[in-house]
Structure formats: C-alpha cells, structure tokens
A and B are shown apart, each in its own frame.
Chain A
Amino acid sequence: MSLQVIKTLNRPSQSLCRIMKMSHRNIIKLPLRQSSNSRYPSPKLELPPIVLNTEFLLNPDNKEAIRNNIKARLSDADIDKIHELAAAGNQQEQLAAAECQQADQQEQLLAELVKCPNMSHPKVANLSEPAIVFQRDFVPPDHKIRSFEEIARILGGAKFNNLKPFTGERSYYLTGVLAELEQALIQWAVSQLEEKGFQLISVPDILHSDIIRRCGMNVDGERTQVYRLDPRFGDAALSGTAEMAIGGFLMGKQLTDLPLKICAVSRCYRAEAAQNVQDKGLYRVHQFYKVEMFMVTEGKTEASQEALHEILAIEQQMFDSLGLAYKVLDMSPDELGDPAARKYDVEAWMPGRNFWGEISSCSDCTDFQARRLNITDSNGRFCHTVNGTACAVPRMILALCEQHQTLNGSVAVPAPLRKFLRGNPDVLAGKPKKQRATLMYVNSANYFDNQNVARE
C-alpha cells in the first residue's frame, strides 16, 4: 500500500494580532510563532492554526462534564476561567473594544483552552484505578532467579557503573550478545509490523519544540521530560517518541485511504527522573530505541477505537510469540495524560525485580493531536490518531532476560528472534571468559602516580 497523501496548499501567513469573532461556531486560531533569530540555520516552520472544538468546550451544557474530566485527569485546566474569558470576550466584541484589546483577550482564552485534556472515553471515565483486562502469569523456574544486572554480568553484556562523569546520568552500554539482541528486536519488530500492513518510515530525532507541544507534551518548566538543544541551534528539541516526529510529518496534510498505518524506529530521549528502587539500571534510561506504531483514522470514535484495539492485538500477538508473561491494563483517567481518550498499558513480569514493569502502551488520542496539527481527511474533517509501542527495546530486553533466564544465567531465545541473531541461537550466552576483556575501573585520578607506567 503506497502512502496516499495530498499536501495542503501553502497557507497564507497570518498577522500576529487580528480580530477573531467569538462565537461557539467559529474557528479560533492561535497566532503563528516567529522563528528564532539564531545564526545557525533554523528553518522557518509554518505551524497550522490550532482548531479546537469550541462548540463543545464553550457550551455551558458541557461544563460540568468537562470539569469532572479535568479533575479526574489531575489537569490544571480551569473550565470556569475559560467560560469567564469567553464571556468577557463577547462583551468586548459587543462594546466594540479596541482590536488589540480583543486580541489580548482571545490569546488568554486560547492559552486556557489548549490546557484542556481530551475527554475520557465513557468506558474508562469512571475508573478510579487501572482495570486488568488480561493477565498471563509468570511460571517461575526451578532454579534461583537472577536480576537482569546479574544476567548481564554473566553474559558480559552491559555496563551501568562509573559512566556518569563521561556520558551522564542513567547512561548505559549494551555489549556483545545484548547489543546484538537489541538490533534483533528492532529488525524483528519491524518485520512483524510490515506483515501487518504498516509502512516503515525513517524519522528525525530533533524537532521544533512546537511540534512536540502540539502532540501534547510539556516542553517547558522543571518537570519537562524533553531535552532541548542549546538555543544557538534554534528552537530544537529531542523527540521522546517517534509519535512526535510522525505527527510532525502529518502536520497540515490531508489524507486519503484511511486508515493510514505507519511504523518507525527512532532513538527516544527522555529526561525522566527516577521514581523508585525498581528504576535502577535498564528500566528507566534517558536514551533508547523504540519501534512505534501510528495509525490515522476517520474522525469517528468507532474508527479510532477499532484502531486502538487493532494495535493492542498486535502488541499482544508479538508478546505472546515471545512467550512473555504480561498483563494488559485499561488505564484510568488519572493515568491518561492530556492527549489520550483511552489508553492500554502492557506490563511484563520482571522476576528479578519482583514487579510488573511497563513495556508497552497504546493510546487513542481521537482528534486531540489532529486539531493541533491540522491532520484532516479528504473532506477536510479532522482525523483521529492512535499510537502504540511495538517494542521499547531496553525494557523488552529486561523482560526477556529475566523471564527466559536459564540455570546458568544464559537466556533462552524465543523462536521468532533466532533468525535475527547470528547463528540462529536458541540460547544467548556470552563469549567465553578467556576471550572477554577484563576491565578494572581506576579509583583515583592519581592512580598511576604510584604505579609502574611505561613511559612511551
């Protein structure tokens, strides 16, 4: 299936201060942001207007439902303030207030409107905690269970210690068979998705921060998970998931032949803080590979829900084929974030850590992203977007190694992965110890002062 996309015509540039009519039926548009004035080349990014569903958001009949949704989502949006600003704006319009006054009023309103999270799907709106919809329990082996760190040491396959001064917090190296496993997982995941009709695209890891914002991620402030480049390189941020780059790709496009199914492998960057003791090692890292699924459907709830369940089914099929013990959770509103109307998380049992760790997630974002990125169908209606993780590589490695560990610390390789590893191995074992480099960390910068050092 070829990618059928019709690009929209170039939009005329918009002035920064313009009068906009305030009514429930009208489209409200945010002003364009000017590109930064940096000497390093910085492309002029033309962002489409954000077209929110004001008919719904400003309707007093919906106020209570929206307020409840905001509260359930732990969002800091304020529907009462929104309605006050809308009313004040109408008043100004009636009093024929100055153009710029109205524009200021509108900007304030828009700034509040964009904070509103997506409405939760009715099936999850009343959940107080995630609901387990599927669970396959782990059958422990007869032997002692090792943690991933111990398995990695036996395989000679990873390094986590003494890295911070050179490569930063939470950095890691995968070496030997675990590095090969990383590549094998990527190749396998892509091959699976291609069989399921997903088209592979290769995406950028560096994006304008406005694209990331429009996908629903917070880019600013202390709690942001987004890394940014030095401002001398313009407004550039590191993508936390291929979803953002794909969203950027689809921005301003009209799509035919829906549903559209895209997959991408990307390097993901997240400045996530550690939250508890399970976050050590490979579980929570700042840089990792991920294979992502992204679907665009007609702008109908049934269509995006169908896509969500299709993606979930694919995820489950993939984890089943790897023989993993996992559970699927239908997430409660407080876990959805802003963009998702509904989300399923998949958690794999990690016996070395003795807890269920998230390895995948899929979200139905309905028209939340499409309205912000102006993704429409051939009739000009906003599409729905759905995304899901086919393979978050570090946690997949963690789950595979801990669940499929053998008595001596090697790892049984699930059949589907074997052909992607050299020699089609059924067991992952490291190099013989005699062939491995034994490296000792030097504890002091002055260590060699008191040693015999050849003066070469």
Chain B
Amino acid sequence: MLRQFFCWRMRGGFRRRKEELCGLCSMSTSSQRLSSSRAQEEKSPPPRSALFISGKQSAKTFKLLSPDLFPENLTRRKEILKTVLKCRNVSLDLDELERDLLHYKELKTRSDQMRQERKSLQEEIKLKKKETGIDPNVIQELIAKESSLKSELSALNEEIWAIEEKAVHNYLQLPNCDKLTVLEDKMVSTIPYNCTDSQDKSTAAPEHSLLTYDQLIDRDELVEYSANSHTSYYLFSTLAKLELRLCWRIQQTLLDEGFEQFSNPDFVKTIGIEGISGDIEGKDLLNLLPTQDFGDRESLNAMYLVGGASKYPLISYFARHTLQNPQVLPLNIFSIGRQYSQVTEENSSLLNTQQSTAITLLNISASRNEMELNLDRILNLYTHILQDFGEVRIIQKGASDLDLCEETRYVFQVCLPVSKKFVQVGELSVEGDYYSRRLMFKQKDEQQTYRNVWTLSGTLLNITRILPIVLETTQNNPKLIQKFYD
C-alpha cells in the first residue's frame, strides 16, 4: 500500500528540497533494493537531518545524538497533536505514524536479538574451528546458518531504514504541543506602568508636545544608523550608558533571585539548531561562510551566529549530559549578551535590528509539576522587571505561531506611550521535556533511572528594543530615568 508522501508548512515555511541528495544517502541504491511500491515513494530524496543519523547513514556519518523515539509520547498527545496539525494546515496521519513507530520498535528489538544471535554463532564457529576431530559438516551448517541470519538481518535493516527515513523524521518534526497549548492568541493580562515618580500634572508637558522616540533620537542625536552593515547602529553616550547600566541592573536583580549567570559562545552548529528548534535550515538565523572548522548549510555542519544571549548556546551546554544530582533542581540560569537574527526589511530603527543586546533565561525543572510552578514564578519575575519600563501586556500565542519546540509561548509587550503602540521586548517558551528527549539531557534519579528534565526559556528583555521605550517614557522627566542608575 502506497504511503502518502507529505509535506507540511511549519511556522515561517518549510520547503522540501528537490535538489541533490546529501552524500550520505544514495537514492539509486535504495530504489534498486526496495519494492516497486516503495520505489515510487523514494523518488524524492530522503529527509536530511543533523540530529538523527539513520542506520544507513551511520556507516559514513558520525552519530552525535540519539533522540528518544518513544511512541508513547505520541500516543499520549495524539488528540492535541491532531488539533494543532489541523490548525497549522499540516496533513499527517498520526495513527499511521504511531503504527510505524511501534512497528519500528519491534523491528529494532528483533534486529538487536538477531545481532546477538549472529554474534553467538560467530563465536561458536570460531570455537568449533579450533576443536580437533570436529565434523566439517557441523561447521558448514553453522556457517550456513550464520550466513542466512546475515541476509535476514540485511533485509530487516532495509525495512528499518525505510521507516527511519520517513516515520522517524516525521516524528522528530512534530510540534511539541501539550496541555498548555492554546489554539488562538490569548491576552493573559495587562500590567500598569510602575512609575516611581508622581510628577505634578501641572508641570508635566502637554501630551501634544511629547515626541516619539524617532524624533527624540533625531533631536538629541542619540543614534547614528549606518550603512556599515544591514540595520547597524551606533548608540551615543546617553543610550550607550543606559544599555550598559540596564545590563548591570537586571543582572543584580536576577542574582538576587538566585539565578546563576552564564556567559556563552555566540556560535552554534546545525545539530544544535535542529535539536533545539527543529529547524535544520536556521531560517531566521545568520550562518557563516565555511572555514576549515565548519561547512555550509548543505553540509549539515554549518555554523550559525546566534549570540551568547540566545537560547541555542544556553541549551547546547547541557546536550549529551546527565545530571547526577537532581536535588539541585530547579536550576535557574541567565545570560547577558548579543542576539543576532535575520531582518528582511530595510529600515532604520532600534526596534528591528540584526544585532541586539539582550538577557535570556533558562529554567530546568525535575518534573512537569515543578515546571508549571516555576512558570508562574518566572512570569511574575518578568512582570516585576518589565513594569518598570511601562505598561506591560502579556499574550499567550496560539498554536499556529509556535516553534516546534514550544508547548506554548508568552510574549511580553511594553507600551511606547507617544508612538502609541506595543513593542515585544521579551518572550518565555514552555518547552516541557522537548530538549531532554532530543538532546540526550537527562537527570539520574536515586533508582539509577534516567528521567527527562523540563525547561522554560526565553528572552527576559531585549535591551536594544527597550531603549526607545525608555526615551519616550522618560522625556521631560529626568527622575524617571534616574532609577535605572541607582
């Protein structure tokens, strides 16, 4: 029975590649071996991945990670997955996928058993050959049995590989929806501006005379937008000092809250990008020209400039590690640094730049319950920090806007009071055990059992974007800006 070959749209679009195979999988070899019904399916090149190396590829490609492939995870979430996939206009038969995965597990178990049998036979043959007076027919029989087992194993492997190239890849591309996922955007709350100076209204400047941040920047020559690179900008004294000061101020707040500071690398390779976001092409990211240490995007060994305050290096720190003392959980970590991303518009504005200064958080919890408790705490932390800048709006994003790794995401917007719009300055993603399942990051409990960890992560504050808000909010009232220097 022909299986439906599908493609789906991810957020921002995912294009199936039509061009050349990666050198790791030979289409022509596959189509010769497989049945004619499969041969038609296999005309399209197999999906590529840096995260999951199939059995067929493993002879030529070093396998760094083995993501969990537990059908139970799909079974448990099947209903919400169906709803979310429909919401995203993705047609995927989850029942079939579930069956394929279960079948895959059976085949893998059988394959392991057969390998074991074959190994035992080989040892027996070796021993028999050393025996004196042994009937040669006995050895021949064993050899024939081993050879037959080898052929069976080979055929079994072909079946396994076919599932790996289809079902396993589809499974790894499933969105991480679960019970916190909402289908439509939802306004969570609005928090008023925590203004520390109640200025006498009679001395306050009339509203019509207040300037937008663009006008303030022009008037006071606070920023120079430059053609030295796309969206590049130079901040002069006032804003440059404020940028540095805000880093320090929020750092102290987070240290007081018990967070641990990390300083991370700015580069992450394809495997980290795909493992964390599910996006093998790094569609919103900037990749580097190949050097001797890394390749281009086609090679699946590209290097991406993400910034130390991006979640990619923060989470990559824990990839392929087990936590031996889970009693230290929850871990709360933050980083201050750069974030880099693509900007496809031509503009001169601090609100939309390739390079930003930002602060990112990561919470690692021992269980789902603990994660949800920490979610409340961290949402309050965001509110506490952001309301010092202006009115805050918290929106929970609907399923069609989420990344694959996100069960849900809260975005934090702060008001530009004169420009009269809200600007997103932060977000918090609920990722559950997504990274644990994909990046071999687990905790070891007292019974020596490895369990998943549960994470929340996101940008606490994009400092570059908050600067225009501070300008608008504090114009004509120096006391309001002074609090950031106290």
Contacts and interface: CB of A to CB of B under 8 A. Distances in A.
Chains A and B belong together in one complex = yes
Contacts of B336: 183
Interface in A196-212: 199-208, 211
B418 interface: no
Interface stretch (B184-192, B337-345, B371-379): B337-345
B337 A267 contact: yes
A439 B227 contact: no
Contacts of B181: none
Nearest to B232: A204
Given A40-B230, A452-B448, A455-B72, A422 B252 contact: yes
Contact of A439 (B303, B323, B450): B323
Interface string B123-160: 00000000000000000000000000000000000000
Most buried by A among B68, B267, B442: B267
B51 to A, nearest CB: 11
A174 B337 CA distance: 12
Contacts of A90: none
Contacts of B248: 183, 187, 420
A329 B272 CA distance: 43
Interface string A125-158: 0000000000000000000000000000000000
Contacts of B338: 205, 267
B229 A200 contact: no
B262 A174 contact: yes
Please classify how large the interface on chain A is, using the bins under 10, 10 to 19, 20 to 34, 35 or more: 35 or more
Given A230-B296, A248-B228, A422-B252, A172 B286 contact: no
Contacts of A447: 66, 440
Contacts of A187: 244, 248
A234 B265 contact: no
Contacts of B70: 455-456
Given A43-B230, A44-B227, 10 more contacts: A40-B230, A167-B265, A202-B240, A204-B233, A227-B289, A227-B305, A230-B287, A434-B328, A445-B440, A453-B451
A228 interface: yes
Interface string A1-25: 0110000000000000000000000
B450 A435 contact: no
B262 A179 contact: yes
B452 to A, nearest CB: 5
B73 interface: yes
A57 to B, nearest CB: 28
A173 B320 contact: no
A302 interface: no
A362 interface: no
A233 B442 contact: no
Interface string A32-64: 000000001111111000000000000000000
A454 B448 CA distance: 10
Contacts of A269: 266
28 contacts: A2-B237, A40-B344, A159-B317, A165-B269, A166-B271, A166-B272, A167-B264, A167-B272, A168-B265, A173-B317, A175-B261, A179-B263, A183-B251, A203-B234, A206-B230, A206-B355, A227-B291, A231-B289, A236-B230, A238-B305, A435-B328, A439-B321, A439-B323, A442-B320, A445-B63, A452-B447, A453-B450, A455-B72
A200 B235 CA distance: 9
A427 interface: no
B318 interface: yes
Contacts of B63: 445-446
A310 interface: no
Contacts of B293: 168-169
B238 to A, nearest CB: 10
Contacts of B288: 227-230, 238
A204 B355 contact: yes
Interface string A435-452: 111111110011111011
B236 A201 contact: yes
A355 interface: no
A118 interface: no
A26 B264 CA distance: 51
Interface of B: 63-66, 68, 70, 72-73, 224, 226-230, 232-237, 239-241, 243-244, 247-248, 251-252, 255-256, 260-269, 271-272, 286-289, 291, 293-294, 296-297, 303, 305, 308, 313, 316-325, 328, 331, 335-338, 340, 342-346, 354-355, 357, 433, 440, 442, 447-452
B229 A179 contact: no
A90 to B, nearest CB: 37
A392 B290 CA distance: 27
Contacts of A227: 288-289, 291, 305
Interface of A: 2-3, 40-46, 159, 162-163, 165-169, 171-176, 178-180, 182-183, 186-187, 190, 199-208, 211, 227-231, 233-234, 236, 238, 245, 248-249, 251, 264-265, 267, 269, 271, 286-287, 420, 422, 431, 434-442, 445-449, 451-456
B73 A267 contact: no
Contacts of B291: 227, 271
B321 A43 contact: no
Most buried by B among A159, A201, A204, A452: A204
A368 B371 CA distance: 58
Nearest to A167: B265
B234 A201 contact: yes
B244 A265 contact: yes
Contact of B244 (A168, A172, A190): A190
Contact of B354 (A206, A267, A420): A206
A171 B318 CA distance: 14
Contacts of B286: 229-230, 233
Contact of A200 (B240, B255, B265): B240
Contacts of B317: 159, 173
A172 B265 contact: yes
Nearest to B112: A449
Contact of B236 (A3, A178, A435): A3
10 residue pairs, one from A and one from B, having the closest CB atoms = A202-B235, A204-B232, A43-B227, A171-B265, A179-B261, A174-B263, A166-B316, A202-B240, A438-B324, A179-B263
B65 A202 contact: no
Nearest to A159: B317
A308 B331 CA distance: 47
Given A165-B64, A438-B324, A439-B322, A456 B451 contact: yes
A66 B56 CA distance: 62
Nearest to B346: A41
B450 A165 contact: no
Contacts of B313: 167, 173
Contact of A230 (B226, B260, B289): B289
Contacts of A206: 229-230, 232, 340, 354-355
A158 B230 CA distance: 34
A437 B322 contact: no
A437 B325 contact: yes
A437 B236 contact: no
B66 A41 contact: no
Contacts of B65: 445
B324 A440 contact: yes
Nearest to B335: A179
Contacts of B452: 454, 456
A308 B478 CA distance: 37
A104 B235 CA distance: 41
A361 B343 CA distance: 35
A447 B335 CA distance: 30
Contacts of B224: 249
A106 B450 CA distance: 70
B450 to A, nearest CB: 5
A180 B265 CA distance: 15
A306 B229 CA distance: 33
A229 B305 contact: yes
Given A205-B355, A228-B289, A230-B287, A448 B450 contact: yes
A92 to B, nearest CB: 36
A175 B332 CA distance: 12
A64 B299 CA distance: 51
